[in-house]
C-alpha cells in the first residue's frame, strides 16, 4: 500500500475515516430505538445459526444518524486553509464522516449508498460492487478507490443467491452447524471477552446484541457491539467503545428501517463536472515480492512492538532532500521527543505521533494513551 505511505498524516487520517465509515455503513443498518418486539432468549451459537440460515432479503432502506466522537476535543479546528497540512487537517475536522451527521442508507446484495447531510455540504459514499466513491460537497472532491485483485477485489459482483441457496439446505455453501459455531465461540473466548446474545429490539425489529471486548488491560479500545435481526439475520447496528466511556465512540443508528427491493436509480450518482477527482489506486505489483527496488524497501519500514490491542506500530520513512511534506501539522498539540518537535493526535481510541529526526520521518501509533506512545517514541 505504497500510495498510503506517500500521503501526509492528515490526509491519511481522512482516508482512514472514510474506510471506517464505509465498513460500518455496510453492516450497521439500524439502531435500537426501544418499544419494539424482542426475540426469545437463545444461546449465542443458536442465535448465530439462525442468522446464517435466515431467508435472504432483497434490500434495505433506512434513515440514519451517524455518531463519531473519535477526534472530539482534538485541536484541529483552528487549522488553516489552502493546500498546507493545516488546510488538510481543517478538511478532516469538518468532514461529516469525522464529525457525525444524519442521513439515509440504502443497500442491496451488490450496492451500498450512504448519504450524510451537514450544514457545510452533504457527503455521498457509494459502493457499486467494484469501486468505492466518496463525494465531499464541502470541498467538491471525489475520492475513488478500486481494490486490486490481490486486495480482495473481484472482477464482477457475485450472482444473487436464491432463497434456497441462502439457507443451510442450499448448494455447496451450507451454514456451519450449531456444534461448529459453539467450537468457534469457545476458541474465540480464549482470546477475548464475548457476551451471550442479548434479546433486544432494533428500530422496531426483534434483534440480538453481542458485545466483544479485549481481555488485556491498558488499551483505549473498550469493545464493540453488533446487533443483528433475529428474523432476517442482517446486521442492524454496530458501535465501537472506548475504555474510558460507556457511550459509543462511533455508531451508525437508524430511526426507521424497511426491507424490500431498492430501485437501481438510487445507487446512481453523478458529481458536478467541476469536482476534483482523487484516484486512490495501489501501484501495480503491490502485494507481491517482484518489481520492488531494494532502495524502496530501505526507504520505508513498518515495525510493531507488542501484540494485541496494546501493540504499537512504527512507520519509518526516509525524508528525501528538498521534501516539502511537513513532519508536524498545524493545529495539533506539540510534544518534544528527545529534542524533536512532534505532532500528536489524541483520539478516543488511540494516539498517533509524527516527527522527523536525522533524515527519517516517524509515525508512531497505538490504541493506547498518549503517555504510552510518547514513552515508546523516546526509546526509538
Backbone angles phi, psi at 178, to 5 degrees: -60, -40
CA distance 217 to 188: 18
Query: Could you say which of 1.10.287, 3.40.50, 1.10.1740, 3.30.200 is the CATH number of the domain covering 294-377?
Result: 3.30.200
SS3 88: helix
CATH assignment, 2-280: 2.50.20.10
For residue 332, CA distances in Å to 18, 70, 317, 323, 353 come to 21, 15, 21, 21, 10
Contact yes or no for 227/34 (Cβ under 8 A): no
Q: CA-based diameter of the chain, in Å?
A: 66
Backbone angles phi, psi at 136, to 5 degrees: -105, 105
CA distance 92 to 11: 8
Beta strands 112-117 and 141-145, pairing class = unpaired
**pLDDT tens sequence for the chain (380 residues):** 444 444 444 444 444 455 555 554 444 444 444 567 899 999 999 999 999 999 888 999 988 888 999 887 655 544 444 444 444 445 556 678 778 888 999 999 899 999 998 877 789 999 998 999 999 888 899 999 987 644 444 444 444 444 444 444 344 468 899 999 999 999 999 999 999 999 998 888 899 999 999 999 999 999 999 999 899 998 888 999 999 999 999 998 777 889 999 999 999 988 899 999 988 765 444 443 333 343 444 468 899 998 889 999 999 998 877 665 555 566 678 999 999 999 999 999 999 999 999 889 999 999 999 999 999 999 99
Q: Which residues contact 303 (CB under 8 A, 6 or more apart)?
A: 313, 314, 316
Torsion sign, CA atoms 34, 99, 226, 212: negative
Residue that the C-alpha cell 469538518 belongs to: 94
SS3 22: helix
Domain ranges of the chain: 2-280, 294-377
Contact yes or no for 352/364 (Cβ under 8 A): yes
Q: Give the cell for residue 110.
A: 451488490
Closest alpha carbon to 62 in 129, 110, 108: 108
Amino acid at each position: 500500500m505504497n500510495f498510503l505511505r506517500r500521503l501526509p498524516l492528515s490526509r491519511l487520517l481522512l482516508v482512514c475515516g472514510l474506510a471506517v465509515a464505509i465498513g460500518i455503513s455496510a453492516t450497521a443498518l439500524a439502531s435500537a430505538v426501544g418499544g419494539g418486539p424482542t426475540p426469545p432468549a437463545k444461546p449465542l451459537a443458536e442465535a448465530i445459526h439462525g442468522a446464517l440460515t435466515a431467508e435472504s432479503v432483497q434490500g434495505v432502506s433506512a434513515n440514519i444518524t451517524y455518531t463519531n466522537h473519535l477526534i472530539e476535543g482534538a485541536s484541529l479546528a483552528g487549522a488553516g486553509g489552502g493546500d498546507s497540512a493545516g488546510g488538510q487537517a481543517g478538511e478532516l475536522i469538518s468532514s461529516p464522516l469525522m464529525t457525525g451527521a444524519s442521513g439515509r442508507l440504502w443497500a442491496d446484495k451488490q450496492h451500498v449508498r450512504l448519504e450524510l447531510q451537514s450544514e457545510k455540504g452533504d457527503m455521498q459514499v457509494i459502493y457499486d460492487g467494484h469501486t468505492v466513491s466518496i463525494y465531499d460537497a464541502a470541498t467538491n472532491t471525489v475520492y475513488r478507490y478500486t481494490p486490486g485483485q490481490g486486495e480482495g477485489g473481484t472482477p464482477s459482483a457475485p450472482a444473487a443467491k436464491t432463497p434456497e441457496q441462502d439457507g443451510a439446505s442450499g448448494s455447496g455453501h451450507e451454514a456451519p452447524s450449531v456444534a461448529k459455531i459453539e467450537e468457534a465461540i469457545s476458541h474465540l473466548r480464549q482470546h477475548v471477552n464475548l457476551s451471550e446474545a442479548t434479546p433486544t429490539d432494533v428500530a422496531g425489529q426483534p434483534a440480538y446484541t453481542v458485545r466483544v471486548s479485549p481481555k488485556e488491560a491498558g488499551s483505549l479500545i473498550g469493545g464493540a457491539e453488533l446487533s443483528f435481526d433475529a428474523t432476517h439475520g442482517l446486521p442492524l447496528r454496530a458501535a465501537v467503545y472506548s475504555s474510558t466511556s460507556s457511550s459509543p465512540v462511533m455508531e451508525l443508528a437508524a430511526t426507521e428501517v424497511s426491507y424490500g427491493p431498492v430501485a437501481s436509480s438510487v445507487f446512481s450518482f453523478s458529481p458536478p463536472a467541476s469536482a476534483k477527482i482523487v484516484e486512490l489506486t495501489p501501484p501495480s505489483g503491490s502485494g507481491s515480492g517482484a518489481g520492488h527496488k531494494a532502495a524502496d524497501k530501505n526507504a520505508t519500514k513498518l515495525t510493531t512492538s507488542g501484540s494485541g490491542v496494546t501493540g504499537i506500530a512504527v512507520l519509518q520513512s526516509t525524508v528525501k532532500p528538498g521534501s516539502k511534506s511537513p513532519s508536524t501539522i498545524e493545529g495539533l498539540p506539540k510534544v518534544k521527543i528527545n529534542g524533536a518537535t512532534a505532532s500528536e493526535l489524541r483520539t478516543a481510541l488511540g494516539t498517533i505521533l509524527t516527527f522527523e529526526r536525522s533524515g527519517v520521518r516517524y509515525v508512531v501509533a497505538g490504541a493506547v494513551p498518549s503517555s504510552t506512545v510518547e514513552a515508546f517514541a523516546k526509546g526509538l
